[in-house]
């Protein structure tokens, strides 16, 4: 029977989950996969954490150099997170000819091209199923199940923290601040939640997924990003009245040589499958030209789901005759002739507060009409001399919406645009 000696760099939540699966399912994996996976070395600066998992002290590595020099170790798992020192450690392993499995979406989105070049130089593989959507096998599906298709779009809820917050705001009427506090208390959100609530985490994942889906580099710097911090209880309520729920969506679309990639709060029709994805769950909705619509759903984070994806990559890498590399020119840039769009077409929800006086609504309508923005629906609510007007537009260019909003805000100051949220069609 084949034996694969594994090293784990970082034995926190995800690394610990990976260790548990490899040890508790060792016999199961031998029986079903024909491979004996053995965790030979663990690298973590916290020895107490290593002991807490029942790992023998003899398995504690003193440095990454010790792992790189160990010729018996053929595969290394990185679950440290962040860019450095993870990047340097991974490069060391790849150059030593060891396959690397990682869950590090920030690192992959920022340095995928250079890491893959290093992997090729060392004759090793780089695998990252666990970097996107936790235990949901979306990367493997894009790489190995949907090759017959041109992928038209990939739309997903790919951050569990923001989905939990928005679910609480929708179902229990919580404010953003209260929902965030609860998410932090339960461990869904970090003490500093910026990466999640401002959309950075989702933009890293969308960069990876859209690159795989559209077979060209889609740099994370090209992803339009907007977080959920401006979403209010009023927006949530109005979405419901109009037949929608609000989700933070990651949206990637390709039409011939034009790609759009964006992360932002979105009005999702209640009839859409993504509307029912609640709590910390994730889902990705994929459309291919022959397969049509597919949805991948499951837990997007946590020790066990992410550990499951990591072990999947460990098994996958160990069974390959040669490493798997990108099927496109992975040089960190979109291929020549491909345009990354900066203007989008869609419907928009626009919330404006105004003085409740004759002619105000007509004036706003004139501004929108002048800027090619057509109104599909509006709801007006007044109180104490002020009125809140909620517009839902027909499909139009975002640049036209922005121009209309700028004109409204530049006028007397009596009208204030409270929020603009895009609508999924």
3-state secondary structure the chain: CEEEEEEEECCCHHHHHHHHHHHHCHHHHHHHHCEEEEEEEEECCCHHHHHHCCCCHHHECCCHHHHHHCCCEEEEEECCCCCCCHHHHHHHHHHCCCEEEECCHHHHHHHHHHHHHHHHHHCCCEECHHHCCCCCCHHHHHHHCCCCCCEEEEEEECCHHHHHHHHHHHHHCCCHHHHHHHHHHCCCCCCCCHHHHCCHHHHHHHHHHHHHHHCCCCCHHHCEECCCCCCCHHHHHHHHHHCEEEEEEEEEEEECCEEEEEEEEEEEECCCHHHHCCCCEEEEEEEECCCEEEEEEEECCCHHHHHHHHHHHHHHHHHCCCCCCCCCCCCCCCCCCCEECCCCEEEEEEEEEEECCCCHHHHHHHHHHHCCCCEEEEEEEEECCEEEEEEEECCEEHHHHHHHHHHHHHCCCCCEEEEEEEECC
CATH of the domain at 37: 3.40.50.720
Task: Output phi, psi for 150, to 5 deg.
Answer: -85, 120
User: Is the domain of 199 the same as that of 284?
Assistant: yes
**pLDDT above 70 (res 370):** yes
- Residue 333 domain-assigned (yes or no): no
- For the stretch 310-366, pLDDT in tens is 999 999 999 999 999 999 999 999 999 999 999 999 999 999 998 877 788 888 989
**pLDDT above 80 (res 384):** no
- Residue 322 domain-assigned (yes or no): no
User: Is the domain of 19 the same as that of 123?
Assistant: yes
In this prediction, residues 226-239 reach a mean pLDDT of: 96
- How many CB atoms lie under 10 A from the CB of residue 152? 17
- Residue 328 domain-assigned (yes or no): no
User: Is the domain of 179 the same as that of 199?
Assistant: yes
User: Is the domain of 121 the same as that of 189?
Assistant: no
CATH of the domain at 398: 3.30.70.260
In this prediction, residues 105-129 reach a mean pLDDT of: 98
- Residue 150 domain-assigned (yes or no): yes
Q: Total structural domains in the chain?
A: 3
Stated pTM of the model: 0.95
Average pLDDT, the chain: 94
User: Is the domain of 176 the same as that of 244?
Assistant: yes
Q: Tell me the C-alpha distance between 2 and 75, whole Å.
A: 14
**pLDDT above 80 (res 382):** no
CATH of the domain at 271: 3.30.360.10
Residues acting as catalytic residues: 205
Bridge-partner residues for 41, per DSSP?
7
User: Is the domain of 286 the same as that of 370?
Assistant: no
Last residue of a domain, one of 87, 109, 131: 131
- Residue 15 domain-assigned (yes or no): yes
User: What is the band of 120 on the pLDDT scale with cuts at 50, 70, 90?
Assistant: very high
User: Is the domain of 158 the same as that of 127?
Assistant: no
**pLDDT above 70 (res 369):** yes
Which residues form the domain of 392? Answer: 345-423
User: Is the domain of 169 the same as that of 212?
Assistant: yes
pLDDT above 90 coverage of the chain, percent: 87
- Residue 100 domain-assigned (yes or no): yes
- For the stretch 240-254, pLDDT in tens is 999 999 999 999 999
User: Is the domain of 288 the same as that of 400?
Assistant: no
User: What is the band of 412 on the pLDDT scale with cuts at 50, 70, 90?
Assistant: low
Q: What is the pLDDT of residue 413?
A: 65
User: Is the domain of 181 the same as that of 212?
Assistant: yes
User: What is the band of 415 on the pLDDT scale with cuts at 50, 70, 90?
Assistant: confident
Query: Quick one: 64 exposed, middle or buried, by C-beta within 10 A (0-12, 13-18, 19+)?
Result: buried
Q: What is the pLDDT of residue 313?
A: 97
- Residue 97 domain-assigned (yes or no): yes
User: Is the domain of 107 the same as that of 148?
Assistant: no
User: Is the domain of 10 the same as that of 120?
Assistant: yes
Last residue of a domain, one of 63, 98, 131: 131
**pLDDT above 80 (res 13):** yes
Last residue of a domain, one of 271, 299, 327: 299
The pair of three-digit structure tokens given for residue 313, joined into one six-digit string: 């990559």
Task: Output phi, psi for 15, to 5 deg.
Answer: -60, -40
Q: What is the pLDDT of residue 387?
A: 86
- Residue 307 domain-assigned (yes or no): no
């Amino acid at each position: 029977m084949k034996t694969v000696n594994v090293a784990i760099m970082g034995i926190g939540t995800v690394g610990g989950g990976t260790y548990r699966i490899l040890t508790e399912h060792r016999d199961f994996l031998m029986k079903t996969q024909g491979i004996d996976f053995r965790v030979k070395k663990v690298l973590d600066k916290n020895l107490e954490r290593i002991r807490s998992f029942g790992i023998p002290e003899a398995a504690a590595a003193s440095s990454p150099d010790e792992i790189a020099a160990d010729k018996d170790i053929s595969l290394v798992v990185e679950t440290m997170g962040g860019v450095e020192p993870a990047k340097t450690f991974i490069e060391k392993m790849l150059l030593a000819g060891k396959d690397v499995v990682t869950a590090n979406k920030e690192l992959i989105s920022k340095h995928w091209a250079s890491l893959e070049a290093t992997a090729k130089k060392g004759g090793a593989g780089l695998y990252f199923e666990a970097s996107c959507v936790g235990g949901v096998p979306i990367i493997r599906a894009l790489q190995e199940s949907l090759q017959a298709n041109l992928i038209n779009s990939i739309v997903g809820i790919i951050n569990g923290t923001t989905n939990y917050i928005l679910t609480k705001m929708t179902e229990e009427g919580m404010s953003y601040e209260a929902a965030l506090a609860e998410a932090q208390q339960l461990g869904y959100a970090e003490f500093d939640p910026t990466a999640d609530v401002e959309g950075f985490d989702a933009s890293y994942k969308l960069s990876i997924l859209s690159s795989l889906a559209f077979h060209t580099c889609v740099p994370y710097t090209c992803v339009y990003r907007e977080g959920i911090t401006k979403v209010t209880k009023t927006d949530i309520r109005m979405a419901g009245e109009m037949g929608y729920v609000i989700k933070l969506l990651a949206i990637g679309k390709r039409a011939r040589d034009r790609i759009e990639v964006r992360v932002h709060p979105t009005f999702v029709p209640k009839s859409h499958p993504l509307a029912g994805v609640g709590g910390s769950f994730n889902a990705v909705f994929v459309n291919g030209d022959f397969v049509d619509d597919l949805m991948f759903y499951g837990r997007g984070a946590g020790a066990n789901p992410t550990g499951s994806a990591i072990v999947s990559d460990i098994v996958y890498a160990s069974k390959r005759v040669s490493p798997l590399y990108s099927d496109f020119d992975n040089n960190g840039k979109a291929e020549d002739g491909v345009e990354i769009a900066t203007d989008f077409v869609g419907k928009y929800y626009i919330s404006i507060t105004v003085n409740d006086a004759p002619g105000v609504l007509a004036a706003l309508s004139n501004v929108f009409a002048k800027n090619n923005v057509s109104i599909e629906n509006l709801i007006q609510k007044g109180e104490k001399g002020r009125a809140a007007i909620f517009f839902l537009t027909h499909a139009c260019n975002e640049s036209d919406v922005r121009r209309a909003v700028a004109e409204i805000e530049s006028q007397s100051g009596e009208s204030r645009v409270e929020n603009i949220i895009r609508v999924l069609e």
